[in-house]
Each structure stands twice: as structure tokens, then as C-alpha cells.
Amino acid sequence: MPELPDLEVIKEHLERVLPGQRIEGVELLRPLVVRNLLQGDFVSALEGRELSGVRRRGKFLLLDLESGEKLVVNPMLAGRLHYCEPKERRQKKTFVILHLSGGMDLRYVDAKAMGKVYLTTDPNLIPGFARQGPEALDPELTLEAFQDRLRRRRGEIKGVLTNQAVLAGIGNAYADEILFRAELYPFRKRPSLSAEEVERLHDAIRSVLSEVIVTLRERVGDEIDVKVRDFLEVHGKGGTPCPRCGTIISEIRARNRLTNFCRTCQPGTMIAG
Ligand SMILES: [Zn+2]
């Protein structure tokens, strides 16, 4: 699932190429993922419009139209944007294609069809958008502000980190990476964390996410539809040695998702419930 660092790098790329281009044609191949929050027809609302900017908020990517509307993409598990030549072969699960005045296509592809493409003038009308907490890399999210946001949360720390109302942008993969960096067991209840551990977590959020953005900038380049995850330290690395201590990395399916961690570097015991 694209998370803050993935979407940030995609945003940076699209920001370089999209603004100033006009949408000359729209192919709505599968309307399933489209949520038009405006009156009228999705295709005719877009045709002839000019793209003016690209932004990111949490796990949402916002394409601004000069006329004031926004196309807001929430890729969920498997959504991808593909910026390519029109002659490039269309992937099977292509839902929407924008033909752009610069001669390229912007395509939304989604193997699981769980993502959404919204058209709206007000992103706050999008489910889950307005209730997002501060960006995980917001410079104003100081240690004190972070402690404040955590104080009311009583659940497991991984669940707290991936709760978009607490912090926007962290999903399953980078939560595992952050907790590994902070040397915290993912299923520890938040109230059991000491002040020193909360500080370690705050540091790890900053360092992991900003390092990953640098790595992805180099690795992804213009190929924004390709997911690069092979450099992660623990997530997706179950059964391989921990890069820090050599213990075999654990893989647990709990709370409906896969969690990877090192039992030596991140000691703890899961409490049922
Ligand atoms: Zn280890």
C-alpha cells in the first residue's frame, strides 16, 4: 500500500510534469473506483480542464484543476498512477485514463479495485479526509505535540501509529520499519511506553520516513507506478536474519494484517484481545 514516502515521491514527480497540461480526453474504462461528489458527469467535468498543481495529504494525492475542482486519489492497497506514452500497453486493471495535452497519459490502475478516485471541490467531504491528524513529517509535530497526541490512545502502539486520525501517512509497512528502528514490540499497549520510549518512537518516525524518501527519490525516478520495497529492514522480510542482530525476523498475522519484527531487538509478549 502506498504510504507517505511512496506518495511523496510520486507527488514530486507529478508536480514536475502535470501543472499546465490540459486534460484533452478522459476514458472511464471502469467506473467502479470513481466517486463524483459534484453534480453532473465525471468525464465532461474533466475534459478541457487544465491541471494546476499536485499535493499530498496523508495517503491521498490531490490533483488540482485550474477551475477549482480536485481529483483526489486514495490508492488504498494496490492503486497506482501511471504516467506514460499513450502507446504503452494498458494494464488489465486500468480504470481511468486522462489524455494530456503534452502527449502523455495519466492512468489509474488498481489490481484490487479498492482505491478511490474522487472528484470534488472540497476534499473535506471525502470519507476519512477531514479527520486526519497532522502529517507524520510535519515540522510542527514536536516531541511535546507528539506526546500530546498519544496521551489519549490506549491501544497497541502499531495500531496507534497507523491510525490516520493520530498521524497521517503511516501504514502497515512503515509502521513495522519505525518500530524496528525504535526497538519497540509492535503489540505493546501505548500506556506501557516510557517517556524515553516515546521519544525514541518520535525520532524513529522522522528518521525512517525521511531516509526512505531519499532512497525512493533515487530508486523510483520517473517509474511512479513501480512499488519499491526491497530495501526495507523488517517489513516483508519474515524468515530472514535481522540486519541488526541476526535473529530470524518474525511474521505474525494479527489484527487482520501482517506484522514483521525482531523478537530480540523488539522484545515483548502479545496480550490477547
Ligand atoms: Zn534483531
- Averaged over successive runs of 10 residues, the pLDDT of the chain (273 residues) comes to 92 96 96 93 96 97 97 91 94 95 96 94 96 97 96 96 97 97 97 97 98 93 81 96 98 91 94 60
Ranges of H-type helices in the chain: 4-17, 42-46, 143-151, 157-161, 172-181, 195-220
Q: For the chain, what are the domain ranges?
A: 4-125, 143-261
Q: How far is CA 48 from CA 41, 57, 102, in A?
A: 14, 26, 13
Cell output for 24: 484533452
What is 112-147 written as a DSSP string?
T---EEEEES-GGGSTTTTT--SBTT-TT--HHHHH
Q: Ligand 1 centre and the CA of 1: distance in Å?
A: 25
pLDDT score of 1 = 77
Ion ligand 1, residues whose Cβ is below 5 A away: 242, 244-245, 247, 262, 264-265
Q: Ligand 1 centre and the CA of 59: distance in Å?
A: 29
Which residues belong to the active site? 2-3, 59, 257
Q: Ligand 1 centre and the CA of 126: distance in Å?
A: 40
To the question of domain 143-261 being in CATH 3.40.50.300, the answer is: no
pLDDT score of 223 = 82
Q: What is the CATH number of domain 4-125?
A: 3.20.190.10
Q: Ligand 1 centre and the CA of 273: distance in Å?
A: 26
**Eight-state DSSP code of residue 22:** B
Residue with cell 503511516: 170
pLDDT score of 200 = 98
Distance CA 72, CA 124 (A): 11
